[in-house]
Each structure stands twice: as C-alpha cells, then as structure tokens.
Structure 1
Amino acid sequence: MNQSRPTERISDELQGKRAVVTGGSRGIGAAIAQRLFNAGATVVTAARNPTADAPSEANFVSADLSTPGGVREFADAALRILGGVDIIVNNAGGVRTFPNALDIEEDWQYTMDINFLAAVRLNSALVPSMIASGGGVIVHLSSIATLSSHPLLLHYAAAKSALAVYSKGLAVQLAPQGIRVVAVSPGRVATPGADEALEKMSAHLGDSTELDSETWVGDIPLGRIGQSHDIAEAVGFLVSPRAAWITGSTLSIDGGQSAAL
C-alpha cells in the first residue's frame, strides 16, 4: 500500500483567504500551514522558535502562546500582517512533563494554558475581525487522548477534552455570524513532538524498552501510524467551501483506533 504524500494538484479554493495557524513550525502545524498556502491562502504561523520544517511561504511570528501576553502580541502581529482573519487553526499544544494526577501546580497550569486557554484567548482576540469580514472558520486540534484515562496523560487529556467541549459551544454561539467551528481529533501521528513526548514518558516510567511512534500500531485497525499530511488534508477540507454545512462537529482521524476502543 502506498503511504506517500498525495501528489494531486490542490485547487485554489482558498485564494484570498487569510489564515492563522498556531504551532506551525513543525509536525502537524507545519503541514497544515503548507496545505492552506498550497490552496491559495496567505498564512501566518506562530511558535516559540522557527524550525527547518516551517513552511518558507508562511509568515512566521515568534510567540509564547502559553501566556496571555504572548497570545495578545501574536494576535496583534497577525492582524498587522493580514489585515484581517478568515481562518484560525488552533494547533499549539503538547506536554512538558508527566506529573502526578494530584499535583495541580505548574505542569497542570502550563498544559491547560497551551492546549486549551491559548485557543480561547486567540479566538477572543481574532474573532471580532472575522465577524467584521462576514464570517470564517475556526479549527481546534483536539486529541484521541480525550478517550484515555492514563494517569500520566491526565492533564493533557483534560485540556483537550475542554477544547472539544468549548468547540461545540462556540460553534452554536458564532453560527449566526457566519463562523463555523470544528474540532479535529488526531490519533497517533508521527511527529517530532510526539516522539519527544514518548521518549520523556519512557524515561519517566523507567522502562528499558525504548518507545517510539512506530511501536504503537497494534490497536490501529488501518495498521499504521498517521502522518502529518493525513491531518492537514482533513483540515484543508474543513476550512474550504466544500464543508460549508459542517460546524460543531469533531472529526476523529486515527486509523480507526477510536472505533476499536
């Protein structure tokens, strides 16, 4: 089976659209930014630091989205560059450590800030511009972790669960303004961030077996780890006019893993 990246020509269906993608310097975020650019959008991305994986065609803004001030500075920069926003993809996320579930301190707060509150804050800053433009689309990157109760990922799962619920309520609130809100829930995707998290988890557990994304395929019905372009293609569809009647939904992209649970 050929698992290579799709090569068919991408249309210009996003021509003239202005898009913001957080966490866009590598992995899923970089793939989404490239996909939107390829469809004609002007793209601004945000991350703490640029990487070689960041799309050269996107406008990069260095920002710490785990803080209210960082989100505000990025929103201001994006509006200066774009003049308005039609598409927001809240992809920034991740974990730094794996605290005890009873430790409601810095690690929990950071995880809530970057995985959930960064999206809430950015939407608050940019949606007025979107309303003024007559509508738009917001995509939130949730996670299959919302179906898990693994103690080491409880903070991450809680934050992504909050994001999914927030998406539904926001979709209802913004529908009269012509703004659609959807969530995407990826399964296990081979990205630098995912590999780093697995390495940290392995070290935390003291497991002598090295964990990497390719070892986690046993319960994926399609028999492979996802790739960044698998997620980017879905997001490209969801922000396009072809998805004009989709809002308030969460799309699982996980090779069938959630269906098999």
Structure 2
Amino acid sequence: MDKRLKLLVSNDEVEFIRDYGRALEQSGMEVVYVPKDGAKLLEKIELLHPDVVLADLFMPHIDAFGVMKSCSDRMVNKPFFVIVSSTMSPVLEREVMNAGASYLAVYPFNPTDLAQRIFRIAGYTVGSKYREQTIDNTQSLEIQVTEILHQIGVPAHIKGYHYLRDSIIMSIETPEIINAVTKQLYPSVAKRYNTTSSRVERAIRHAIEVAWDRGDVDVLNTYFGYTIHNTRGKPTNSEFIAMISDRLRLHMKSA
C-alpha cells in the first residue's frame, strides 16, 4: 500500500508552523515537528525513519553537518535532507551538498514551492501524497539530473549549473516548454532566482562552454552524440536541455 511522504522538521516554533508548516501540511505530506536541536533531531530520525528531513543549518548541540554525517555512519536507509539557511553562497551550497543534502533553501522561502521540491527529491509525484516510480526507485529526478550534470562536467559553483538543473526538470515535467525557451523557460527560471531571462540564458551558455572545455569526451558523446563533432561545435542551450530531458523521460517510461 502506498504511503504519504513523511517530513520531519527541526523547528516547532509557533511562528515557523504558522508561516511555513501549515502550507507543508496542506500539500499532502505528513509533517512531524521536533525542537530546533540537532541531538533531538537525530533521536527522532532514528525513531521515525522519515522520508525527508527539513533542518536548519545551525542548531544547538549538533549542526546539520553533524546530523547528516551521523545518519550516513549509522543508518542504511538514511532520509533525504533539505537544509535551510539565512544566507546563501556558492561555497556554502557546495559544502552543504557535499555533506549529503539534496537541497539548500534560504529564508524566507515559499513553502508551497519548497513542498513541490521536497516531493521531487523524495521521488513522489509533485503535489501528491503517493509515491512515484522514479528511474531506479531509489533516486529522485533532481538527484538524477544533478549526477548527469556532474558527469558532463558542469561545475556546481556557477549560476548556470542551477539554472540548467531547474530547466531540465521543468522540461521533463512540462515537455512542451522546450518549444518556448525564450518566452517561457528562461522567464520561469529567472523568476525563481530573482534575475532576468537574458542572464539565465548567458549563464547556461557559459555552463555549457565550461563543460565542453573540461568534460570527458566519452561522457559528452554518450549524451550528445553528433553535436560534439568538430563541424557542429557545442549544442545550443535548447539542444543541451532537450537531449538530457528526453533521455531521462525515456528512462522513466521504461522504468
């Protein structure tokens, strides 16, 4: 029998529940709150075995880094981690992701948007309480896209990396958007990051150029085939996004 997504939140303050918790609950997931304390959070994780943990980066007794490391050391099926911070920087995000997090959110965040991301991270149908079959039943779509970008050679610290990841996920969830890259896709990504469509386009182009300069030719050939031929050059932004999203979509159908 399918089950609801269980989210464990390391914040039981009235203001947090009012501003964020209620929207998470209304999305269809089961939300359990624990005080903002790393030691208490770790105890609750071992007791409840949640699907996803939403935790502040800095907590009394044990911070998020310590909690994630303890789970990696002590648990076979550890939960996905979404970490929340009041600040954001490429260095901080890289450290948090390398420590085991699936996503780094920044206060103040939109709880409805974060709920959708949490569903995707855990492999659930967005906006639903039921589990979705992912590509290999163990990894979420977002993690699959992230791994592909790493394989191709797109560095995680540049803006284009994040824009590409969201663009590919959008193209998988809404295939027709790839036919309106400049009118729909770029503006949608730009809105999420409070920037402009032209900056999104330039950042994605830069990310692709970096990947072509530093990436493994065999890996690039696997994903892009003829586009890396000397006479063709690098793929366009839309080609890059379409090829990866189509590949993942076909894997999802076959799964």
TM-score, length of structure 1 as denominator length: 0.40
Between Structure 1 and Structure 2, which shows a larger proportion of strand residues?
Answer: 1
Between Structure 1 and Structure 2, which shows a larger proportion of helix residues?
Answer: 2
